[in-house]
Structure 1
Amino acid sequence: MENINDIKIKLIQKVCESENYYLLSSFLKNLENQSKDIVSEQDLLYKSEKPLTDEEVEEYFKEDEIVLPDYVMKMIERGMDDIKNGRVYTEEEMDKMDEEWLK
C-alpha cells in the first residue's frame, strides 16, 4: 500500500502533465468542496437536491398506461400469429438472405 506522500507526488505529477482544463477545474472544485470529516455522508449532488418522500418516489416511478394505435396492435397481433404458426426465419436463413441481397 502506498503511503500518503507517494500518492501526493503522483497526483502532483499527473496534474502538471494534464492539459485538460475541465478535468483540472473539476478536480480543484472537488478538493475545495471536500469535507474535513471524510467519513461523513456523501454530499448531495445539487444543493437543491433532497431525498424524496415515499409518496414522491411512488409518483416518480408510477407506470403510465400506454395506448397503442389500432394499426400498431394489428401489426403486433399479426406478428404473434406468424410466430404461433411457424412463419418465421432462423438466424442462418436470414444470414443467407442478407448475403444474396448484398451481391
Structure 2
Amino acid sequence: MNLSELPGAELILPGLNDLHKGETNTIASLLVAIAATRLIEAGLDVPKDHLAPEPELTLYSRLQDERDDAYPYYKALLNRLNSFCNALEVGYEYKPSNKQNAADS
C-alpha cells in the first residue's frame, strides 16, 4: 500500500516526519497525535514519546491564533485525518485470498 495515495496523506505523513524529528507542535504532528492509537494499531510507526498532551485542545488553540475561521478549519482537518485512518484501516484489513491472487495472474 502506498501511503502517499491515501486521502489526508498530505497532512499525516509530514506529521509523522515532524514527530520523528521531535517537532510536537506543528499542525500535522498534532493531527497524528490525535489519532496515534488508530495509526499505531494500523501498523504505522508513531513515536509515542513525542506526542503532545491534549493534542485536540492544542491544535484548536493554535488555529485560533492563526485564523478567524478556526472551527471550520479544525473540523476539516479532523475529517481529513479520519479519512486517512479509515483508508489505512481498510487497506490493512483487506487481504485477498490466494484464489483471488491466482485468478488475477
TM-score, length basis structure 1? 0.25
Question: Based on CA coordinates, which of the two structures has the bigger radius of gyration?
Answer: 1
Which protein has the bigger helix share?
Answer: 2
